[in-house]
Amino acid sequence: MIRLRKLARAASLLTTPLAPEDILSLFNPVFSARQLRGVVTRVVPETADSATIFFRPGRGWQAHRAGQWARIGVELNGVRHWRSYSLSAPAGEDPAITVTDMGAVSGTLVRTTKPGDVLFLAPPQGDFVLPEHPRPLLMLTAGSGITPVMSMVRTLVPHRPDADVVLIHTARTAADAIFREELAELADQFPNFKVTHWFTGERGRLDFSSAAGLDALCPDWRDRAAYACGPEGFLDAAEALWESEAAPGTSDTAATLTIERFSTSLAGGEGHDGGLVTFEASDREVEADGDTPLLDVGEDAGVLMPSGCRMGICHSCLIPLRAGQIRDLRTGEVHGEPGQLIQTCVSAAAGPVNLDL
């Protein structure tokens, strides 16, 4: 160990003012002792406003499970922004994210990413994964909610031809349906994989107000383990249907519904909320309103903010509150004690706030 430390010090003297790892990164863009990175290997357009970005991660990446997500960092105008994206590649293969152009970060990824670009990474996370034991499955997806489910389909269907999977995907039009051609090919190859596309531009929204609509598309849906991912309204309606129709009289192994949400309902702040937010370690001060999560306030100010799901579930954004009070945007509750860990993704300033960042 002593000899290694001496070698490291010697290397530092030779490479000053750069660190040895900075020199190595010139030859290998994914090498970094400080930050996990990945190099883009391929970009595949999916629809007019979405693309799949394949990347090769550096050492330290943990192989993802089908259905998980990861935080991806992108630098815009010299500021690193982090967003969470579902991984659409099969488990056991190099990862990929399928991104829809919604917002500055996603738009940049879809419109300008090219092979050779470097992405900043955090390890895969999430419990929206395939069940441990074989069982009939029902997948309900809408819009970009197909992304984590596509990882499940690609992992399961080609390797388990006996897998009994029904996928019902809703999109506005056929042109907006991500992975439509690949799903059709898989359904042709594997008879136990059944795909239904529901185009809301032609048929209106899929009706979950009663069981009749789902009965027509998948008569045995009550006997399947179900997974749902999509917009809030879509998921709320599905959840209500399962609670009213599937729960009574079912066993522990049937009629389960596992949900992956991309967002959460925020109540917003009061008119008098907001205040000066001080990021003490970064030596920055920003005036914030009462409706904007502190996570967004910090990122817009160029502060490197920890984040994950961005909707109050994973707790990756927890940081200590030094002083002041914050409002929980989900419930409207105002609280705050010095040293309290707060979730910046669902908290807004309720007066002056000092944060330990």
In the chain, what are the domains? Answer: 1-33 (no CATH), 35-121 (2.40.30.10), 137-261 (3.40.50.80), 274-355 (3.10.20.30)
- Model pLDDT, residue 30: 57
pLDDT at residue 300 in the model: 82
Mean pLDDT by 10 residues, the chain (357 residues): 51 50 49 78 96 95 94 86 91 95 90 96 92 93 96 96 95 95 97 96 92 95 95 92 71 71 63 83 90 87 78 79 90 88 90 92
Contact assessment for residue 70 and residue 125, using Cβ atoms and an 8 Å cutoff: yes
For residues 175 and 48, is the Cβ–Cβ distance under 8 A?
yes
What's residue 251's pLDDT? 46
pTM summary value: 0.74
